[in-house]
Each structure stands twice: as structure tokens, then as C-alpha cells.
Amino acid sequence: MLNLGLDVVTTAAILFIVSAGLLMVFGVMKIINFSHGAFLTIGGYATVIVAHAGLNWWWGVPCALAIGFVSGMAVERFIVRPLYARPLDAILATWGLGIIVGQIITLIFGRGVQMVASPVDGAISLLGTQYSAYRLILVGVALLIALALGWLLNGTRLGLQTRAVIMNEALARGLGISSSRVRFMTFCTGAALASAAGCLITPLASVDPNMGVPWIVGAFMLVLVSGSSLVSLAVASVVLGGAQVLVSTFINPVLGGLTIAVLAALLLRIRPEGFARG
């Protein structure tokens, strides 16, 4: 029972980590960044690069953040910016970018699965039960990301401008806020977050050129039901992630894999705003 509870909490944390970057981009730019999966993959390979360089695994995180941010700059400038008025086309172009990234990685690293050492091994005992230490660390990481993003949005000038753009872009522009700069920074931050998430999930998943793909659909659905709010995303991660754990445990894992997508689609049909208020 306690194990199940921990499964729910850690799954929600992982989903939150993986989706946070996508939410940022969707909230501000109102487009779905399907290259999110590609950025996850890039982050995963950052750990491979770090391992080759003989550095400690944890160096992968800042490295992934940096690579993600820089590649996000290029992607925003050349692919996303021209498509800002065509949201459905933006989905397609970013999906195409995912294909390109996957192929480039295949050409450099080969199509095989890369082995990456895990930073923390084994289980720790918690309230009388053994549980994977790394999954528990991820709960802390998720909280850290939530706090950091919360501070970015609510404690900085750029965050204030970002919130203004989210609420009413036309008005924000009228008040002299450079919405294109806000969009640019948001996309780069989203890409960096995705990349860091890709790095963080390597101990749980394999590193291969298509490692991001299975995560996109889940993240995409979570973001759609959350709108543009981090709090809604946290709620959605816990509710839908919890449902996924329960279905996987008590019915079967295949259905479990579908839980998020199906529940989210039905939820949006009944309540188009999803978990977001109003």
C-alpha cells in the first residue's frame, strides 16, 4: 500500500519534470512544441557525452540545460517564430524537427541503446519499506523545478512580463512589453527544461535516438488539460499519473500506458478547460 502511494508520488514527479518545459511553451506561445521529445533525447545524450568525458553523472544536468537552451535559441528563431500565427503548422514543423534530431543523433552515436551509469544505486528504507532511492530524489527535483519556475514567474521582472503576455498579449504589447523577447526566452527555457528532464530520466529509461517519443504524448496530454498553470500541471500529474499507476498495477500495464491519453481526451471533451480554473 505504501509502495503504491510512493509509486503514485514518484510517477507524478517524473511526469511533472518531463512536462514542465512543454507547459511553459504552451502557456506563453499557445503552440504545442512537438520537438519536446527531441529535446528530451538531446538531454539524454548529454549524459552520454559527460560519461565519455569521464565526468560525474551529475555534470549531465547543467550540461543538458546549456545544450537545450542554446539549441532552443536556434529552433525558436528559425522554426517557431515564423509559425507563430499558424499553431497547427507549428506542431508539424516541430515534429519534423524531432525527426531531424533523431536522425542526426543516429548518425553520430548509432541507433543502438547507450548504457549510462546511474548516479544513485539501490534502495533506501522509508517507513519500513524499501524504495528506489533515485525515484525519491526525483520528487525533490520536481519540487525544486516547481519552486524555481514559480520564482521565475512571480519574483522576476521577466516573469511579470511573461504573465502579462499569458493573460493578454495584445495589451502587454501595448504597454511596451516586447512579447517576442518574452516568447524567445520562454522557448529557450522550455527547451532547457526539456533537455534537463531528458537527462534526469536516463537512469529510468534507455538512452536511444527515439527515447523522447514515448514521453511526448503523455506530456502533451498533461499540458492540454493544465492550460498554462503550474499548479494545474501538478494536480494533473498527480491525478492522471496516479490513475496510470493504479491501472497498471491492478488491471494491466498496457492499459496503464494508455490511461493518461484516454482520460485526458475524455476529460477535455467534457470539460474543455481541463484542470485549469475557468
Q: Which residues in this chain contact other proteins in the complex, by CB under 8 A? A: 32, 78-79, 82-83, 85-89, 91-93, 95-97, 99-100, 103-104, 106-107, 111, 217, 220-221, 224, 252, 254-255, 257-258, 261-262, 265-266, 268-269, 272, 278
CB of 98 vs other proteins, minimal distance in Å: 8
CB of 254 vs other proteins, minimal distance in Å: 4
The CA–CA distances, whole Å, from 40 to 125, 189, 254 equal 30, 13, 23
Using the minimum distance from each CB to other proteins, give the nearer residue, 92 or 115: 92
In this structure, what C-alpha cell is assigned to residue 257?
500506458
Contact by Cβ (8 Å): 24, 265: no
> CB neighbours of 34 closer than 8 A, spacing ≥ 6?
91, 92, 94, 95, 97, 98, 216, 220
CB of 121 vs other proteins, minimal distance in Å: 31
DSSP state of 119: S
DSSP state of 122: S
CB of 76 vs other proteins, minimal distance in Å: 12
Q: Cell 500506458 identifies what position?
A: 257
Using the minimum distance from each CB to other proteins, give the nearer residue, 31 or 230: 31
Using the minimum distance from each CB to other proteins, give the nearer residue, 5 or 253: 253
Using the minimum distance from each CB to other proteins, give the nearer residue, 96 or 140: 96
Q: At what angle do helices 157-167 and 2-29 cross, to 10 degrees?
A: 80
